[in-house]
Structure 1
């Protein structure tokens, strides 16, 4: 028997069930990017808001769009858009049935309909979790007009990218003289609201509609937000645990998440759900310090754990963070380098770093290194290069950044050498593959070419040739000594 509205009454007493009638929800939110993170984060907070608000909460149902694959939309639709959130502490798991999604759709099958949903009078907020690579930005944070996806979208009558869909939806709002929805980016992008606003304006201008671009800049709110929760890929163990905790009901789309939850949102005008009902949500005047701390300390450290850990045979974040050598290097990197430019007290930074390492080591969260390591070229600028530049300009050490970048490059080197499981999941995979083929057996040339990619690294780093030499040296050591031995030596240095 499958989880559905008809079977909610069969659930055991220990399962949290929605304290509202899902059939009464109206679609006030459109979400782009119906992945696991969205379903463990924005949906959880929206469900808590609906429960807290009573009948007024019924205006905040979510239409959630899967951007790339139709299977999840089909699976959730078959379950009346219900699914289980498994909140996993190290010693316990809590099951909660999520019911805030009113409809799940596949974006590419929607065509003009998805833009029309954004423009509908009932839609007051559009949220997004399409990953940093889903915005097709340059290293400077502007829309990349040379990206194949953007070039295709600019010519298409039915855009497929999130930026293109937003531009078309806002075009429809403007045409009918309506009130535009608030566009709330929930991805790990520097100044994500302002960056997304500029990207959508750039898209409109590139299509030859400068008036639409100007209207968007003057009339549409794009608040910044910071999101923080570790949400891994669903595993067979999740499916079995969901079935056990649901008293035997099958759930084909459960999601696991850690107990930690943060959502920091810039204040904006207009109606919204009472998201503060979910512990960890705050509305503030300036998201910047929270965003920078999270991007650099959590996401930057995650990248080092993923690349160096994967190369060393440590397949999950928990394994990598628990490794004596790599775990120690990550702690040092996080505290000594990744705090650059973060306007928080030393005590608060220490506490955050300690909390992060505890979260990373949670053995019940199976966060695969391979998955975290995807799309590194789109993540590098805000998470690694910004603090690296500041540290170099201040004369501080950047050894952890060298190790991270060298590990990222070596991942592609091993792919070029035919090592199994070294997949090139990156928006610039073709370019990276070509560099590896050209520089095969020459670490210096490889480091020079990788760091010369201005669409990833931006302008040359301070004392650029010294940075190239340091990274080339690590690449050479990886080849001759092996990654585990290099990590051990660096940890003991």
Structure 2
């Protein structure tokens, strides 16, 4: 058994392994991150690690709101972990030291609230996935009936949800006369800063109308766009990286060379100099956000559902099929790109070309099943917003509707060979019940799922241009299978 990665082991790592270039003992906490997971550790934590030598006031305390797994992996390692950047050219390893401490919120809510209320904490960042905001994906409003929100409004001092922790910390800071921290969402939500502000303001109003006004008027929630593909870490990754390090890393993260972070620059209490690490600060992030959500994430979800149903384990496997490349290229060029309005200088053509190459990267092993998770929360942002924009100008939605139909086929929980699909989604029981009610009829399944207003809203189920296209594609998926459907697909 190898020794664990920790600070004592840094000096003995092989020469080719990059390690922190600053004194970790001099780093103080300026950021609390909610929802510590692979993406945060491959993205925001890396940008922060890059600038701690210049300004050590921005160390991160990271909190898991559910599982203790990350704490159990990183606590014995003093927060250190390995970043593996993989491409067809090889693998580069780097030890990241920006995370000073990991907290498991259900075990230590007081500790988390203490660090959030400390005046030295000036930014709270989030990667809690779409479902972590306890909102209605179709409208962006707080879901006031969400069990965690109901709990947090009843028991303010022991919150469960990300909004609950933020509101209780802001309430305490306001009572102490301390200014509010900036709330920075790094999740794939449309206008994520404004969505978060809407959710937080409503929750604060339910606690106390004065607190609601305070949040609405004084809490800054800049919007962001984040972009980096981060597949789940496998046991093979752990073994390969451990051999290269000469020590055991319980939870390294694997990612691609590409990374992008676009941020609206509104931080009343200051921020790290992330621009020195390559972040781009802009006045309005929305065009970049739409670009990424619709081109990358929309294509990814389409690839995930159709690829899984076709028997492709990874995105790269699916993109090894020329029919899938043709479908995704057409989706981006003909149906998504016309809905985007980019600022001068933005090179949309280069971004699309880069996406195709990123999707083809065989070193990442990004599983279609992983991307397919939480589709009920992702569909409104990734595909349905684009659908609405296309329908506004009476433009075709053939490929978009195929992606939606593939999601419908996937959430039945049974694949094309009759084997069970492990559908991971907060609405999975309800979706499975609707699928069973359809009794194998594509038309009835579509009708049942269209009625889920949290996903499709009130408008799309009433638009025959949408319902007819999705139902036709779903019927084709049942009759001929996903692989043949993709191969035979021809645009309208």
Q: Which residue does the alignment assign to 1:107?
A: 105
- The CA distance in 1 between the partners of 2:92 and 2:212, in whole Å, is 46
Distance 2:419 2:237 in 1: 26
Deviation at 1:414, TM superposition (A): 4.2
Task: State the match for 2:412 in structure 1.
Answer: 413
CA contact (8 A) 2:33 2:124 kept: yes
Compared CA separation, residues 485 and 41, structure 1 to 2 (3 A) = same
Equivalent residue number for residue 392 of structure 1: 391
CA contact (8 A) 1:46 1:275 kept: yes
| Separation (CA, whole Å) in 1 of partners of 2:447 and 2:172 | 47
Query: Residue 492 of structure 1: CA displacement?
Result: 8.8
Q: Distance in 1 between matches of 2:364 and 2:444?
A: 39
Q: 1:3 to 1:298 in 2, by over 3 A?
A: same
Partner of 2:165: 165
Aligned residues of 1:224 and 1:266 also touching (Cα < 8 A): yes
How far did 1:474 drift?
Answer: 2.1
Counterparts of 1:191 and 1:278, CA distance in 2:
24
Aligned to 2:87: 89
5 Å matches for 1:137-156? 137-138=135-136, 139-156=138-155
How many residues were matched structurally? 486
CA distance, structure 1, for counterparts of residue 95 and residue 110 of structure 2: 32
**Residues 234, 254 of structure 1: 8 Å contact kept:** yes
Contact persistence 1:403–1:474 (CA under 8 A): yes
Could you say what secondary structure the match of 2:204 adopts?
Answer: helix
> 2:126, 2:187 within 8 Å by CA — same for their partners in 1?
yes
| Match status 1:237 vs 2:236 | yes
- Structure 1 residue 180, shift from structure 2 partner: 1.1
Change (3 A) 1:112 1:420: farther
Q: Matched residues in 2 for 1:88 and 1:469: separation?
A: 42
Aligned-pair CA distance for 1:291 = 0.6
Q: Distance in 2 between matches of 1:92 and 1:421?
A: 36
Cα shift at 1:219: 1.0
Q: CA RMSD in A?
A: 1.8
Query: Which residue does 1:178 correspond to in 2?
Result: 178
- Show the 5 A alignment for 1:9-158: 9-51=11-53, 53=54, 57-138=55-136, 139-157=138-156, 158=158
Q: Is the 8 A contact 2:62 2:99 kept in 1?
A: yes
| TM superposition shift of 1:374 | 0.8
Written as runs of structure 1 = structure 2, the 5 A alignment for 1:266-345 is 266-268=264-266, 269-279=268-278, 281-344=279-342
Between the aligned partners of 1:65 and 1:148, the Cα distance in structure 2 is 20
Unaligned 5+ runs, structure 2 = none
Q: Counterparts of 1:177 and 1:213 in 2: how far apart (Å)?
A: 16
Query: For structure 1, which segment, 445-454 or 70-79, has the greater mean C-alpha deviation from structure 2 after superposition?
Result: 445-454
Q: Detail structure 1 runs of 4+ shifted over 6 Å in the superposition.
A: none
User: For the residues of structure 1 that align with 2:275 and 2:79, how far apart are their CA atoms?
Assistant: 24
Contact 2:81 2:95 in 1 (8 A): yes
2:411 aligns to what SS in structure 1?
A: helix
* Per-residue deviation, residues 390-418 of structure 1 (Å, max 9, x unmatched): 11121211011110111000012243999
Structure-1 residue corresponding to 2:199: 199
The structural deviation recorded for 1:63 is 0.2
Q: 1:270 deviation in Å?
A: 2.9
Kept in 1, the 8 Å contact 2:461–2:467? The answer is no
* Deviation by residue 1:129-166 (Cα, 9 ceiling, x = unmatched): 00111112211111111223322332234111101111
1:219 aligns with 2:204: no
Using the alignment, how far apart are the partners of 2:416 and 2:310 within structure 1? 16
SS at the partner of 1:62? strand
Q: Alpha carbons of 1:284 and 1:380: their partners in 2 closer, same or farther (altered >3 Å)?
A: same
Greater CA drift, 331-340 or 372-381: 331-340
Tell me the CA shift for residue 249 of structure 1. Answer: 1.1
Asked if 2 retains the 8 angstrom alpha-carbon contact of 1:325 and 1:491, the reply is no
What are the superposed Cα offsets for residues 445-467 of structure 1, whole Å, 9 maximum, x if unpaired? 21122122211111222872342
- Counterpart secondary structure, 2:262: strand
**Larger displacement relative to structure 2 (467-476 or 19-28):** 467-476
Structure 1 equivalent of residue 482 of structure 2: 483
Instruction: Specify whether residues 170 and 294 from structure 1 end up closer, same or farther in structure 2 by C-alpha distance, changes over 3 A only.
Output: same
Query: In structure 2, do the counterparts of structure 1 residues 458 and 346 end up closer, same or farther at CA, with 3 Å as the change threshold?
Result: farther
Question: Is 1:5 matched with 2:7?
Answer: yes
So what's the TM-score if we normalise by structure 1?
Answer: 0.95
